Amino acid sequence: MRTLIYFIVATIFLYMGVSTIFMDFHFVGKLGTSFGKFNRETFGALAFIYPFLFLYPLFITYKKKLNAKEMLSFSVMLLLTFFTLLLIQALLLPKGYDGKIGAVVIAFFTPFIGTIGVWFLVMLLVGLLYFLFQQEIKLLIHKKYTKERLIIDEKVSIKKEKIEPLENDQKEQEKRVVHEIQNQLREKKPSIKLVKNPFASQESQENTEIKKVKKQVKLVNEKEKLQKASGLTSSSATSVKPATKEMQEAQESFNKRPTQVKIVSELEENRKFLESIEKGSFEKPQDFLLPKIEFLQPPPKKRSEINETVIDKKVQELIEKLKQFKIEGDVVRTYSGPLVTTFEFKPAPHIKVSKILNLADDLAMALRAQTIRIQAPIPGKDVVGIEIPNDEFETIYLREIIESDIFKKAASPLTLALGKDIVGKPFVTDLKKLPHLLIAGTTGSGKSVGINAMLVSLLYRNSPDRLKLMMIDPKMLEFSIYNDIPHLLTPVITNSKQAIVALSNMVAEMERRYRLMSQYKTKNIEGFNKKAKKEGLEELPYIVVIIDELADLMMTSGKDVEYSIARLAQMARAAGIHLIVATQRPSVDVVTGLIKANLPSRISFRVGQKIDSKVILDSIGAESLLGRGDMLFTPPGSTGLIRLHAPWISEEEIEKIVEFLKAQREPQYDEKFLAESLESGSSNGGRADNDELDELYEEAKKIVLSERKTSISYLQRRLQIGYNRAARIVEQLENMGVLSAPNAKGNREILL
């Protein structure tokens, strides 16, 4: 477009010149004839040559690509020059060739200052042209310079350009050169590479380069003065060779200067963890259809990409803010993901990590961020991780995790879709390897959505014959949507007492499975199912027990719940029974030491206080999460925390999946898991016959009366019997009038 405009202007100038010279109607037409006549009368003899002369400055401006300010200055210089030539023409040439413009101006000034005054006016204009437009004139006539001037081109390389020495302009020239270099240093677009020397700040390196350039300009000026004093002519090329050499060295050192961080697209530690997941193809059921992927909402086609300019700006802003708090160092790597951008900051050797940790709130305020999480240090590295929320959050959809290669290629039927990591890569885990999961998070943290995503990912890989679910929901809201799906062992349990009985019966189921595996000489459920398939036996399904609110159960009957969870967590893995336990209140009276010791794999969504984060993760950080499914995950055997973002799944999507499953098969509930509850509910409170009493009844009665303790777990330990048998003995003691019915806290009173 620019070339076309210049070509059109040049063509117009040529037509004007030809029209003025050949003022013939048939040759140049009516327009050309009119313009030629006007041109001769107005500009006189110059009318024959100025259209052609203007082609040269037009070519110069096209070639040099001047900016708007330079173009304006160049145009003013040309117009002033043309006006001066018109005056000289009017003074020297006779009437008819003097031109109207020059003649009118001279006629106006002559009565006041005379002809000599007009000549002085012309000389004044020539002088102004020289002093005001010196650089433009040099650009126009290509006069060779006699001194080298440093300029920085847009690729930040150092060139030499000769300029005429002006002693009075040396200081101004020096300032101009330094200012150009400062601008180019700041606008430099460096290639992305790993910083080799993170402790040399960018600002100090720029200052070093500027000082070198100042030194070279001063050397040139001093050399020029010495040559003038000794009567030498203008500077030769050899007079500036030493300065040129030093400038080239400065250029090389500048080009080698590391100014950018490495943007990481994959986390090494996460990649190793995902590689440890068993790969293969899982066997799809023959007589049951798994849910269609179309039930899940697809992600938008256009997703936000990493903007390197924005990241560079954030890096500089972070370094500047840290300097305000007297924290020196540099950012060596960055990770950008759906919700946060992580900066690996390498502090100077004298900076203490504790000093950086205490700056989380101050940095959040300085950077105007919602919250900032600081990992100090990142395990296995000599850097500090600073996680800053993105300006815009990206929604993660469960469908993109289900469709990811890592989920499809996972061999385990208990593969859980956890979400994406901090660089936006899908992240899954194997529940069999965890083998149980403890989850915490306040209201609005995304805990329920995260649990739903895990459950749906299990439903997408398993038929009811391979997987059974037991859902305990004291709040009566979260899991009600899953009622009557064929995968359920029991209806969704909402009564706390029923939940306690169901957990104790799950312990009994675990013991039954162990006896069965011992009988067939297998070590785990996988080995048993392989042998059962060969010998025509019934295969054992996996069982996943999901407890949505542990705190409510602990308030009802804390010891019994704690005991059942501990027994299952310790031994149920090989039997194919796994726990997912969630709570909103991860306090020490809910998440006890016994539960924590047996549930090493934990997920924490956002919690209210640092103490809650310490309880659930044994580390702070969960209080600084963003909500919206933002979580910290501790895989088994790992000392560090993995930050993940849970996927979003709506209730409408879950309803479609549930209806699809319910349409294929009716649920087959196993009543034995609620049997204790039914027995106690149907008891009439009368005395049982002595023939129906347990063999250890009398011994248990003596223990209760002598030691004044009535809990089922205490009798179980004293009598060295199973939980179910101890529970039956306690019920018999109640029926015989020895103990009262349990109160709201699950405690019984001794009536004798």
Tokens of 561: 């719940």
Tokens of 88: 């000289």
| Strand 384-389 to 542-547 pairing | unpaired
Question: Residue 425, exposed/middle/buried by CB under 10 A (0-12, 13-18, 19+)?
Answer: middle
Query: How would CATH label the architecture of 683-735?
Result: Orthogonal Bundle (1.10)
CB 578 within 8 A of CB 414: yes
pLDDT at residue 57, as a whole number: 76
**Greatest alpha-carbon span in the chain:** 149
CATH number for 300-389: choose from 3.40.50.1460, 3.40.50.2300, 3.30.980.40, 3.40.50.300.
3.30.980.40
The answer to whether the peptide bond before residue 299 is cis (omega within 30 degrees of 0) is no
Residue with tokens 């895989």: 635
Q: How far apart are CA 627 and CA 444, in angstroms?
A: 7
The four Cα atoms 513, 634, 446, 500 give a dihedral, to 10 degrees, of 30
Q: How far apart are CA 566 and CA 750, in angstroms?
A: 28
What are the two backbone dihedrals, phi and then psi, of residue 751, each rounded to the nearest 5 degrees?
-90, -15
Neighbours of 307 (CB within 10 A): 11
> Of 544, 511, 523, nearest to 413 (Cα)?
544
Q: How far apart are CA 613 and CA 269, in angstroms?
A: 23
| The Cα angle at residue 370 between residues 319 and 344, in degrees rounded to 5 | 35
Question: Residue 670, exposed/middle/buried by CB under 10 A (0-12, 13-18, 19+)?
Answer: middle
Tokens of 598: 């047996």
Written as one string, the DSSP assignment of 303-372 is -----HHHHHHHHHHHHHHHHHTT--EEEEEEEE-SSEEEEEEEE-TT--HHHHHTTHHHHHHHTT-S--
**736 DSSP 8-state letter:** T
Angstrom distances, CA of residue 164 to CA of 134, 245, 265, 649? 10, 21, 52, 73
- Listed by start position, the domains of the chain span 2-141, 147-255, 300-389, 431-670, 683-735
pLDDT, averaged per 10 consecutive residues of the chain (752 residues), comes to 78 80 76 80 79 76 72 79 83 79 84 86 83 66 42 38 44 56 51 41 50 56 51 39 47 44 79 88 86 92 74 88 90 89 90 87 87 83 89 91 93 94 93 94 91 96 94 89 93 90 92 92 92 89 94 84 92 94 91 89 93 90 89 84 93 95 90 63 41 80 87 86 86 85 77 74
Q: Alpha-carbon torsion 609, 615, 621, 622, what sign? A: negative
Angstrom distances, CA of residue 589 to CA of 372, 580, 615? 29, 19, 10
> Of 354, 601, 330, nearest to 454 (Cα)?
601
pLDDT at residue 405, as a whole number: 93
3-state per-residue secondary structure call for 601-615: CEEECCCCCHHHHHH
Q: pLDDT (tens digit, 9 = 90+) per residue, 105-130?
A: 888 888 888 888 888 888 888 888 77
CATH annotation of 431-670: 3.40.50.300
| Strand 329-336 to 262-264 pairing | parallel
Q: How far apart are CA 483 and CA 525, in angstroms?
A: 27
Q: How far apart are CA 476 and CA 482, in angstroms?
A: 11
CB 621 within 8 A of CB 440: no
pTM of the model: 0.58
SS3 140: helix
pLDDT at residue 408, as a whole number: 92
